[in-house]
Amino acid sequence: MFSESQQVVVIDDDYDEIKQLLAALWQKGIPYIYLDGQQDNLPQKPFSGVRLLFLDIVIGLEGSSDKNTASSLANVVSKIIGPNPGPYFIVFWTKHNTIIDEVLRYLKSGNMAPVGYSNLDKPTNHDNGTTISELMERLEERFLHLDAFDYLLNWESLIGKAVHNFSASLFSINSPVEDNATWSKRIKSLLGTLALSNTEKSDLENTVEDIKNAFLNLTDSFKDSLQQIIKTEKLNYNNPLSKEQLSPNQKAKINSSLFIDFNPANIPALGNVFFSKHASDVHLRESLINYISPKIDKPDEVILIGMIITPSCDLVNKKYLHNEKDCFRILYGLLIPVNECKYKRKGDADFVMRSFWYKEKIYQLIFHFGSLTSLWWKKDEIPEFKFAIKEHLAFDIQSKMANHANRLGNSML
């Protein structure tokens, strides 16, 4: 069910009518945001991570037609969840199904529909505490019938618990035995040590990069803590999982979320991908096309790409060759629309990524380890990185490429 890691928003223009529910939420340790629904009091930018929305259908709209009321309510919801919301659930304080249907229709037309909803009578000050308890029980039961939504809430609760346990364990090592200044100094020393161990440097840079390096080190350790929580925590198994096949588009979009970062920093980093359009690369592109499939119908749509394969530790510590230019290791491959070529791995010299969603199409990315090379760039010559392959997959490509390069025949070459 809900925990302190999830966002609950309560929208009602009469605080007195809703305060009993708000009290029940905080007594359960569930934080919430209360809004009166008036336009001037809505957030300047949407909240992230909203999972439950209590929505009063009045909020100053008495006397309006059903359609106008529904349109206004949908507008309030959109201001709170934004144009690309995650899965969320609405509790309507009404039995007026016509308005509910209209609100849902507006939200669906804007790709903001909830994964589920309930319409309940609003508890009043005349109701006793049992009514609130019954309300929460009904909601929990409703979530169980939503199958995957229940698992999402469980997953986010586990993450929240792991974050709390990890932070409490780490920072209690340096508890404030004297005063805040002493504690703060010790924690900064701890973070400084973590930053240095992440970069293998002897001194701090005294920039924001120190903080990033410390946090990166913390994140690596946190992954283990999260895995341990998942292994040991008692979970309720309320709904079986499914083997039902997803559509190609659905698979591609999921793979994009799992393996691709479409907002990489425009600096050379392991996994960053650029499009190569130099005239000198024409032969390489044609060779890769012939190797992968000479029967591609529209070769003009095939893009030659390069991926930074230089190890992360070398990039952080500038262990790569450099003088007026910096030298980076590059692995080349092809970005191919899936409708052009469904390629299967031929041997140890290639790496085929699962199809993913890019620019409203399904693409396949295929690397050839024989294309490994070095490029020298000045700072103003660094190409635009279109996307990045996430770290765990980039490490896998890097490892398989190293195994290929270390084979006896290749080593003798």
**pLDDT for the residue numbered 88:** 93
Question: In sequence order, what E strands does 135-194 have?
Answer: none
Please name the residues in contact with 87: beta carbons below 8 A apart, sequence gap of 6 or more.
51, 114, 115, 148, 149, 152
- What pLDDT was estimated at residue 272? 95
How far apart, in Å, are the Cα atoms of 84 and each of 49, 52, 126, 233, 257?
Answer: 11, 16, 39, 31, 14
pLDDT tens by residue, 287-316: 888 887 766 666 678 899 999 998 877 776
Segments of the chain with pLDDT less than 70 = 1-6, 59-63, 123-130, 144, 173-179, 200, 279, 294-299, 316-321, 340-347, 407-413
Q: Which of 333, 327, 335 is nearest to 368 (CA)?
A: 333
pLDDT of residue 388: 95
- Please report the pLDDT score of residue 126 as a whole number: 55
Q: What is the pLDDT of residue 274?
A: 95
Identify each DSSP E strand in 146-261 by its residue range.
260-261
What are 109's two structure tokens?
Answer: 């037309």
SS (H, E, C) the chain: CCCCCCEEEEECCCHHHHHHHHHHHHHCCCCEEEECCCHHHCCCCCCCCEEEEEEECCCCCCCCCHHHHHHHHHHHHHHHHCCCCCCCEEEEECCCHHHHHHHHHHHHHCCCCCCEEEECCCCCCCCCHHHHHHHHHHHHHHHHCCCHHHHHHHHHHHHHHHHHHHHHHHHHHHCCCCCHHHHHHHHHHHHHHHHHHHHCCCCCCCCHHHHHHHHHHHHHHHHHHHHHHHHHCCCCCCCCCCCCCCCHHHHHHHHHHHHEECCCCCCCCCCEEEECCCHHHHHHHHHHHHHHCCCCCCHHHCEEEEEECCCHHHHHHCCCCECCCEEEEEEEEEEEECCCCCCCCCCCCEEECCCEEECCEEEEEEEEHHHCEEEEECHHHCCCEEEEECHHHHHHHHHHHHHHHCCHHHHHC
Residue 116 pairs in a beta bridge with 89
The CA distance from 378 to 366, in Å, is 28
Of 67, 52, 62, 61, the C-alpha closest to 118 is 52
For every residue of 51-119, DSSP letters joined together read EEEEEES-TT-TT--HHHHHHHHHHHHHHHH-SS--S-EEEEE---HHHHHHHHHHHHHTT---SEEEE
Q: What is the pLDDT of residue 407?
A: 65
